[in-house]
Amino acid sequence: MRSISIAALALFSALLLSSTSHAASYGNFGGSTVDFLNVRDQNGLFGAPTVSVDSLDFSPNTFEAICPGAPTCPPSPVQVDDTLTLTIDARNGSFIDDVLLTEAGDTSLSSFLNAFAATSVTATVFVDIFEINGVAVNNINGNAQMVFTQGGVFESTDEGYGTHVWTGSLLIDLDQIISNAGGTGRATLVEINLNNTLVAFAASGASARIEKKDIDGLAITVVPEPGTALLMGLGLAGLAAIRRSRA
């Protein structure tokens, strides 16, 4: 049943964004060991982020797809998407090891006539590495799909009616991307593009809603590693401390 329903959603999907959606630029944010630069999104649905240590947190409150709630739904689903773009710049003495993306939301399926309702969430992440060890490089990139609970698809015939919480996550290994491209060294300047899509469909007599929540809507956490020079400095400091303690 799920495969048939997914095919139906793919067949009838139509893009329907609110006329009030507009591009938004949120600026630059300083973390503990990295800077988040030129943070922006295409339709303004992610909302302005906050920064904590080396994590950028978004709390959207208008990123949702609802059916009914649009003139064309049903018979066509409602699809709402947005693309978030930002650059991560490692400060002197640090490298960017991994980038962890996590997000959460919920979906509600209901019906007065036992009619079919379904929603889905997908996220595609594109990564471009612009610097390795502080030196500019070209054509070092990769992409991946975020993994969601229930495969990101919720149907009244499988999950049932009611409200269901969903989460998604993706760990990006930048060292592996560099290795796959035949490069060596550690990433110091990286651009992330995240495209999120929400789809809601409901037959006549049913309703469906899916939303990225205002709490833990999206968190982008950078896992940095200190540079060789810094590690050497820490090692020398440790040796000096041992010698002082022995004296």
Q: Which pLDDT does position 215 carry in this prediction? A: 59
Sole residue written with tokens 């440790």: 238
- Please give, one letter per residue, the 3-state secondary structure of the chain: CHHHHHHHHHHHCCECCCCCCCCEEEEEEECCCEEEEEEEECCCCCCCCEEECCEEEECCCCCEEEECCCCCCCCCCEEEEEEEEEEEEECCCEEEEEEEEEEEEEEEEEECCCCCEEEEEEEEEEEEEEEECCEECCCCEEEEECEEHHHHEEECCCCCCEEEEEEEEEEEEHHHHHHHCCCCCCEEEEEEEEEEEEEEEECCCEEEEEEECCCCCEEEEEEEEECHHHHHHHHHHHHHHHHHHHC
pTM exceeds 0.85 for this model = no
What are the DSSP calls for 111-143, one per residue?
A: ESS---EEEEEEEEEEEEEEEETTEE-SS-EEE
The predicted-structure confidence for 188-233, as pLDDT tens digits, reads as follows 999 999 999 999 999 988 999 999 987 566 788 898 766 443 333 3
Q: Give 94-139 pLDDT, tens digit per residue.
A: 999 999 999 999 999 999 888 999 999 999 999 999 999 999 999 9
pLDDT band per the 50, 70, 90 thresholds, residue 247? very low
Tokens representing residue 89 in the block: 């710049």
pLDDT at residue 166, rounded to an integer: 96
